[in-house]
Chain A
Amino acid sequence: MGQHKTSIHWERDTEHFNIKSFNRDHVIRFENGVVIHATSAPEFTGNPDLISPEDLFVATISSCHMMTFLAVASLNKWQVQTYRDHAQGFLEENQAGRIMMNRVILQPQVVFSGSNHPSRKAQEDMHLKARRSGFIANSVRTSISIQPNF
């Protein structure tokens, strides 16, 4: 249905190409002109000031869940004022012994306006609905746990 394109570029800037020391820094470009300076995670010799694929992975799950939640809330006529999320991703071995982004925890905090606010149960149901229809959530093997902050 939709196509999404990115271009990445990496160029060696160390004389040797040694696993311990080669530069991990690279550039990701999007069609809209946005540029992200990326690297590998610090544990894997990356630059701690830049964004890693694992960071992007956590961000895409958090962002997509929010978008879907907002759409669900809007359809249900609840008026959302603000939405915040602290997302955590865990890179660890899965049951098969493979390293992956095994778990992501979202901790959304949603503020509603107006006099009528959804109950905790109603909010949890909306998160569940968003979780089930999130395009990114549907694309990952990661276990996603949603722990709303009321």
Chain B
Amino acid sequence: MSEFYSRLEWKRDHPDFELKTFNRSHRIHFPNGALLEGSSAPDYSGDPEKNNPEQLFVASLSSCHMLTFLAVAAIGKWKVESYEDDAVGYLEKNETGKMSMNRVVLRPSVRFSGEGPNQEELSKLHEKAHRGCFIASSVNTEVRIEPPSV
């Protein structure tokens, strides 16, 4: 259907290549020229100033859920004013004992113009967005959606 590309480069900048100390910093380029400075998570000797894969994973899910939610809301004729989400992902052992992004909690806060949906309608919009979200369909992470109470 459609294709996405990323290109990544890492270069050793220490004389040795010790597990504890080798530089994790690398660059990720996209075809449109956008650039991300990557590293590993601070728990794994990464540079906290740069983005680690776990953060990008959470960001991808949060962003995709929002874009799908907005489309679902537009189709349902709800007029959205703004959308914010403070998402958290948990790196922990899954059922098979493997380390993974086992759980992600999305906490979307949506403002509507005019009369917005009630709590039940809002939950249904989020459920529909979750089912239609391409990234949510691509992960085995448990994704929980916990909108703050209206």
Residues of chain A touching chain B, judged by Cβ–Cβ distance below 8 Å, are 1-12, 17-19, 22, 24, 26, 28, 30, 32-34, 36, 38, 40-41, 43-44, 48-64, 66-67, 70-71, 73-75, 78-94, 98-102, 113, 133, 135-136, 138-142
A38 to chain B, nearest CB (A): 5
Bound Cα distance A73, B13 (Å): 16
Residues of B contacting A78 with CB < 8 Å? 17
Given A4-B54, A6-B58, A12-B82, A66-B8 contact (CB < 8 Å)? yes
CB within 8 Å: A-B pair count: 284
Given A6-B59, A140-B140, A54-B30 contact (CB < 8 Å)? no
B139 touches A63 (CB 8 A): no
Residues of B contacting A56 with CB < 8 Å? 56-57, 59-60, 63
A9 touches B84 (CB 8 A): yes
A68 to chain B, nearest CB (A): 9
Q: CB-nearest residue of chain A relative to B37?
A: A34
B84 touches A1 (CB 8 A): no
Residues of B contacting A40 with CB < 8 Å? 67
Contact of B54 among A2, A8, A71 (CB under 8 A): A2
Q: B50 near A: Cβ within 8 Å? A: yes
B66 touches A26 (CB 8 A): yes
B87 touches A87 (CB 8 A): no
Bound Cα distance A74, B22 (Å): 9
A91 touches B63 (CB 8 A): no
Bound Cα distance A56, B59 (Å): 8
Interface residues of B in 11-63 (CB under 8 A from A): 11-12, 16-19, 22, 24, 26, 28, 30, 32-34, 36-38, 40-41, 43-44, 48-63
Given A2-B41, A6-B55, A38-B63 contact (CB < 8 Å)? yes
- Per DSSP, chain B at the interface is mixed
Residues of A contacting B5 with CB < 8 Å? 58, 86-89
B86 touches A5 (CB 8 A): yes
Q: B129 near A: Cβ within 8 Å? A: no
Q: B9 near A: Cβ within 8 Å? A: yes
A–B complex contacts, Cβ < 8 Å, 12 sampled: A19-B74, A32-B50, A54-B134, A59-B30, A66-B26, A67-B24, A70-B22, A79-B12, A82-B11, A83-B8, A83-B10, A139-B100
